[in-house]
Amino acid sequence: MATVFGAMADRLKGIDFQIDGQDASPANLESLFRVSFRTLAPNSTLPLSPRLCEEHLATALVAARQSIEARQAYFDAGDKFATLTLSLAGDAKSTELLASEAGAMSLRHNISLAAHQAESNNQTAVGNQAQAVETFTKGVDPRASGPAHDAARSKWLSYISRSVNGGFATMAPYWGGTSQTDEDPGGNVPLVLSPTTPVVDIESELAKRATLAAFRVTHERSMVDQSSVDASVVASQGRVAIATAAEVFDAAAAKLADDRHTAASLLLQNKLALTRDLALFDFKAQMELHRRRAQDLFLEAQERAAASLTGLRTVYGLALEDLPPTALESAEDLLFWCRDVARTLVGFDPKVVQQAMTLSARDAAGANWRHDLSQGIVIDAKSLHDLGFVVRLQNASVRFTGSQRSGFLIKTTTPANVNDRDVQGVERNVDQIATTIRLIAVSADDQDLKGRCSSARVVHNLCPSGAWTLQASGVGNGVDDLLLELDVSFLVS
């Protein structure tokens, strides 16, 4: 218990909390929160406690339940912390793998981008080639007309004539110096061939026909080439389309991989923050907080239950089992113990009777009661013993009769030695601590003022079956009698 008060004192000192103007020391805290009877000697007198043993039991019941809930919260926070800790390793590995995947997808995108550029360049080259072939095909078309195509034919005629004449010049030495005359069968001028006569005349019909034949062959070949380059253009366009689609897909895949890696990295950082920062629900700190609270609540429940046990045994004479073992793991047993005792007390409710008793100072002290009141007069309330079992005081007040209207202070001392019966009706004599309380005596005619100076919180659960002492000074002749009014409860015998 001292450890609990020491820890609580340290926390309260940290926020400059004071008790009645003094530091919140462990001693002051223990004095403030001391609520049990366990400091009593084995055969101790019944102390006057401002709290009922029933109230101790109710508080112990609540504290035990809260202790169990806080303990469960401790386990829950521990499970969350363990789950978080175990998942960190897997998340870290996943983040590394996603980083590798993002790098691979980025490299793949770069490759597809380069392939797309190469196919685009190839498409441009094939297109240029197709355009050049188309121009050439038109230039060697025999059906072409116009200056441009005439010039092309002249170019071809010159080429053929130079080629043939070059070959004739090479063979001329083998002809000798003779000439040969060929008669034209059509009756035209004979054709005389000599070593100095060009074999091919640019304007000759033979040259023209040879040129046209060459045009025709070249044109037909160019048509084949045109079809080939057109097919190459279509194929190149297809490859470019495929490369474009692949590049777009790889770009999207690379972005997706990068986004996944970024999201996984952010999640990992958030989880790491959860293990470090208290503002972000640090489960480890929560565990410690719940554990300490569960322990504090359990200690309070135990103290309250011990107070209730001692009070019920001493006040009511109940034969109750001892408290369960003092360990946080046995909080359920303590809770069940409190519930069993509570059910026992609930069983008393139908048997409890409440009654107001009035005792006269004049009847107790005689005609000189005013004179003796200054020294103190004794009112014997032993007769209350006969009301039933376990007679207990609920409230005490003082009234007066007579012509005086103003109230005055009465010092009332509760009985120290009382006659009592336990719940089974067994007679017993109990010594209890006599306590002085100060009450304001009011006129018995002032019904509205009844209970104004209630002392219920002081005398509640006190046995009234003994000698009461009243003391006051300056009571005038306008007061005919003093009435000690006791509200009591008891079990029907």
Report domain extents, the chain. Answer: 35-40+48-169+192-346, 353-491
Nearest to 91 by CA among 262, 260, 257, 267: 267
Confidence bin at 377 (pLDDT 50/70/90): very high
Nearest to 488 by CA among 408, 407, 418: 418
Q: Token pair for residue 355?
A: 């009654």
| pLDDT value of position 466 | 92
Confidence bin at 163 (pLDDT 50/70/90): low
C-alpha 450/C-alpha 401 separation (Å) is 14
Confidence bin at 279 (pLDDT 50/70/90): very low
Please give the model's pTM, rounded to 2 decimal places. Answer: 0.42
Lowest mean pLDDT among 144-153, 317-326, 353-362, 440-449: 144-153
Residue 147, pLDDT above cutoff 80 = no
DSSP lists the bridge partners of residue 439 as 410
User: What distance lies between CA 447 and its chain's CA centroid?
Assistant: 59
Residue 283 sits at φ, ψ, to 5 deg, of -65, -30
Confidence bin at 469 (pLDDT 50/70/90): very high
Q: Which residues contact 395 (CB under 8 A, 6 or more apart)?
A: 451, 454, 455, 456, 459, 460, 486, 487
Q: Report pLDDT digits (tens) over 218-276.
A: 777 777 777 888 888 888 888 888 888 888 888 888 888 888 888 888 877 877 776 66
Q: Which residues contact 263 (CB under 8 A, 6 or more apart)?
A: none
463 with 343: CB under 8 angstroms? Answer: no
Helix (H) or strand (E) holding 481: strand 479-491
Q: Token pair for residue 321?
A: 């089992």
Strands 467-471 and 377-380: antiparallel
Q: What percent of the chain has pLDDT over 70?
A: 72
357/192: higher pLDDT: 357
DSSP lists the bridge partners of residue 402 as 479
Nearest to 438 by CA among 414, 462, 415: 414
Average pLDDT, the chain: 76
Q: Report pLDDT digits (tens) over 64-119.
A: 888 888 888 777 777 777 776 777 777 777 788 888 888 888 888 888 888 888 88
C-alpha 29/C-alpha 52 separation (Å) is 21
Q: Token pair for residue 332?
A: 């359920």
Q: What percent of the chain has pLDDT over 90?
A: 5
Phi-psi region of 352 (alpha: psi -120 to 50; beta: other; left: phi over 0): beta
Calculate the CA dihedral of residues 297, 303, 304, 306 and round it to 10 degrees: 140
Q: How many CB atoms lie within 10 A of CB 432?
A: 21
State the number of CA atoms in the 13 A half-sphere of 204 facing the CB: 12
483 with 410: CB under 8 angstroms? Answer: no
DSSP lists the bridge partners of residue 430 as 418
